[in-house]
Structure 1
Amino acid sequence: MSQNPLDKLSLSNPIHFLALGFGSGLAPKAPGTFGTLAALPLYWLMADLSLGVYLAITLVVCIAGIYICDKASKDMGVHDHGAIVWDEVAGLLITFIMLPTGWIWWLIGFALFRLFDILKPWPIRWLDARVHGGFGIMIDDIIAGIFALICVQAIAASGIIA
């Protein structure tokens, strides 16, 4: 009988705890969505920071994520296991760069990020299939976050939603 890869991780290990999105990646259904939800309190803590500080923290989350996701993936013996959701945390923080004020923008950004992360339009799907390791785990969600960021900013600039 094969061992469940999740049995190889421990929430008491800080790298595993982060890779699993503070435990949210352990959700039995839609762990990526739960991982994205886990990013919301982190964003809330960062929302009032200056743009420069917000960008610096987001960059650290992305760069550290390469190691975090790679380590957890290797510890599990599975590349990009669904429970590894630190990439979703990074992707949502990218989506929310300069997010307009109001809960509607949280919903729009969240929905757009999940849409791009799930549908994986080019080049996201191409990168997801060809780039491996921690960088491979992170890059598709980073690009999905950039796509969602562009859409959120375009909607905001259009004035469709006040």
Structure 2
Amino acid sequence: MEDRLDQLVRSHKREFAVSARGVEVAEAFDLSLPVGLVLEGKAVTTSLGGLPTHLPTSSAASSELFERFLLLRAEQGFEAAWETLANGPEGEEWARVWDEVVADRKGGAVLTADQLTGLVVKARAGFLRSPKELLVVSLEDGGSVVSTLCEAGWFLR
């Protein structure tokens, strides 16, 4: 069965043609490289540098303390993990990180800084391939972000 992102790419082929052409003619990789983005079922053309405008990012959710919380939560459950960090030697720092993550989420953050970096790395890999590939990103129902690389020339056929 065809995956949802593949279906979205196919249905927005025409809209992403300009982005694909931009990838094809780009001589060097940088943050102005075009990206295809699907938000609420609609195609949006942006650049790698423009992704945080459409997909707000939380640097706090990429912090070492928050990552430790996620590991502890998987092992011990939410309450125990939170208490372990709050009552530990970094308790004050943990409270600050937690408050920042909560504020980021309330503000609409859907990506961590690490996830955003991963998208840039993926786009670079696609740019360096021959033929070049366009990164297409989608914000799914429930807030998860998925991405794929598609041969840029395909959009132009």
Normalization by structure 2: what TM-score? Answer: 0.28
Normalization by structure 1: what TM-score? Answer: 0.28
Higher strand share: 2
Q: Which structure is larger by alpha-carbon Rg, 1 or 2?
A: 2
